Amino acid sequence: MANRFKLPDLGIGIGLRTVHFGEILGRAPAVDWFEVLSENFMRTGGRPMWVLDQVAERYPVALHGVSLGIGNTDPIDRDYLRELAALARRTRARWVSDHLCWTGVMGRNTHDLLPMPYTEAALRHVVARVKQVSDALERPLVLENPSSYVEFAASSMTEWEFLARLAEDADCGLLLDVNNVYVSSFNHGFDARVYIDAIPADRVVQYHLAGHTHKGTHIIDTHSDHARPEVWELYRRAYARTGATATLYEWDEDIPELAVVIAEAEKARAFQLECVAGHGG
Amino acid sequence: MAAELDLDRLQRWMHAVIVHPGSPQQAVASDTAQREVPLSQLGAVILPSATLTPTERLAIYQGMYPLRMEEALAADYPALQHFLGEDAFLELVKQYVAVHPSRSFSLNPLGESLPEFLRTLPGLRRREFCHELATLELAVAQVFDAPETTPLGEPEVASIAPEQWERARLTPIAGFRVLAFRYPVNAYLQSVRDDRHDHPRPRLGREWVVVYRRDYKVFRQPLTGPAHDLLKDLAAGLPLGQAVAAALQRGRRAPEEREISGWFQTWMQERMFAAVATS
């Protein structure tokens, strides 16, 4: 099943990270596509921008942000949106994604991805803002499910119900981070398979895979390791539902050599082939 | 209570808890947090997990906040962090972001006020040295991020008639800062970058430096005092003839004309200027 936005399956990609700049430009590794952290290339005019221009010439690119603050109660930052749209044009980004979260209040940014209460009021609030952002970017916004460490007593629906209704009401795409599903399922004690099965498959534009850190009492979404087998199993389950969908491996802490990140991302190919052969799900 | 807590109030409360510099218990009990959610109502807002209390769950976010700010500031101020030590630097970060929290979608400007903040921070050892070291590191960070500007090319320079140079005003590239220090902070920064252990002592010892970007790399070039004064005058827009005349009249520190010619040649070769105007 292709996503309803007809956004392409870009194959298997990795995040563009500073430590790999030299190697990526030097030997043009076999990677299907790169995801770019939007804010790292905004308000900077030096080497990072020059590198990004080279990468965007050679590879398909998608933008992934952390500062949109779609759930914030402050007004949407129009300057940010203008700069984001300009970056998307410059890199010919296939899509622009961010997170279902809030990031700060009263003009202050914590630079964290903070969880929303899953209430009717919060849903109305986010739907209205997604529509504004999609209009400003002149393309459907793609939102990622967050990993989280707290649950609000006020929530009247599950996260997957909230996401499904948000996607429908705001007509936005979804970036399904299966590691985040796993992390939150442990932290909040729900069945990750139920979550995966409830996501509207035709809205999933992209997958994220990553490693995490188990602290015993909770799991932190650190992006600092190989993905756990349980996460790969969730990916297999989800991919069997969505079919060919762009997949990306994130590695943000203790980043190893480029070849290690690529090899970890390439593991996804075997799961995809299994699904195509009809063994998944 | 929980169902009635509107989103704005919920965010103001959680924000107050996350950015509180004390313990998680102090954070949820702080006046700012309790203005939105009284401590007695905490359990009606945040659910416990099977293993963590509401406060312990909030502590995950509260614990990560200063570390994220530290990581961002350490990227811009590695030598200051080295000088202070990791623990003292983290304490500095906590104090700094309490006064200067991020107000941007980008973390790049977070450290812009740190040099001035250090000037007045009570109890800071070697305050002036720290201030000057941070000033240099901020200049490096700003030059790194400056917009790319096309430097003055040879044809443009060649097109200026000899008699026009007297009145010529030069505009530096965006990635350019000229700085004077009372302490050897450039030497200190270099020793940290070289991973050496023989760091210069933070004692008085003048340094003049130009920080600039060429081919997407940031350079720090030491200057003499007179060269600094001349370059600063030029960057401020003084006509070349006037700036050189001022340099030649600086008493004991006055350079010779051939020295000035050599400096000028270096600055042009290093492509520090973006434009020249003769009218």
From B180's Cα to the closest Cα of chain A, the distance in A is 24
A174 inside domain = yes
How many interchain CB pairs under 8 A, A with B?
135
Q: Which residue range forms the structural domain that includes residue A150? A: 12-276
A281 inside domain = no
The tokens of B192 are what? 């940290």
List, for residues B177-216, the tens digit of each pLDDT value.
999 999 999 999 999 999 988 898 889 999 999 999 999 9
A270 inside domain = yes
**CA dist A256 to A23, A36, B163, B252, Å?**
13, 18, 59, 56
Does B101 lie at the interface with A, CB-CB under 8 angstroms?
yes
Q: Distance from first CA to last CA of chain A, Å, rounded?
A: 14
For strands B273-277 and A213-214, give the pairing.
Answer: unpaired
The confidence score (pLDDT) of residue B3 equals 45
Does A75 lie at the interface with B, CB-CB under 8 angstroms?
no
| CATH code of the domain occupying B147-277 | 3.90.930
Are B11 and A189 inside 8 Å of each other by CB? no
Interface test with B, best of A51, A79, A96, A149 (most B CBs within 10 A): A149
A2 inside domain = no
Q: Give the three-state DSSP class for A128.
A: helix
Q: Which residues of A touch B58 (CB under 8 A)?
A: 150
Answer yes or no: is pLDDT of B275 > 90. Answer: yes
Tell which residue, A119, A121, A143, has the closest CA to residue A131: A143
List, for residues B15-62, the tens digit of each pLDDT value.
999 999 999 999 999 999 999 999 999 999 999 999 999 999 999 999
- Tens-digit pLDDT string for chain A (281 aa): 689 999 999 999 999 999 999 999 999 999 999 999 999 999 898 899 999 999 999 999 999 999 999 999 999 999 999 999 999 999 999 999 999 999 999 999 999 999 999 999 999 999 999 999 999 999 999 999 999 999 999 999 999 999 999 999 999 999 999 999 999 999 999 999 999 999 999 999 999 999 999 999 999 999 999 999 999 999 999 999 999 999 999 999 999 999 999 999 999 999 998 887 775 44
A56 inside domain = yes
Classify the complex by whether its ipTM is higher than 0.90, answering yes or no: yes
DSSP 8-state assignment for residue B46: B
Locate all alpha helices (DSSP H) within chain A, ordered by sequence: 21-27, 47-58, 78-91, 120-137, 159-170, 178-188, 192-198, 229-242, 258-276
User: Where do the CATH 3.90.930 domains begin and end in chain B?
Assistant: 147-277
A95 inside domain = yes
Whether the model pTM is above 0.90:
yes
Does A67 lie at the interface with B, CB-CB under 8 angstroms?
yes
CB A69 within 8 A of CB A115: no
Q: Distance from first CA to last CA of chain B, Å, rounded?
A: 71
Are B61 and A149 inside 8 Å of each other by CB? yes
Q: How many domains does chain A have?
A: 1
Give dist(CA B233, CA B240) in Å, integer: 9
Residue of A nearest to B175 (CA): A46
Which secondary structure element, helix H or strand E, spans residue A35, and what is its range?
A: strand A33-37
Question: Which of A:183-212 have CB within 8 Å of B?
Answer: 187-189
Place of tokens 């799961």: A271
A5 inside domain = no
The confidence score (pLDDT) of residue B2 equals 43
A7 inside domain = no
Report the pLDDT averaged over residues B251-274: 90
Domain CATH number, residue A200:
3.20.20.150
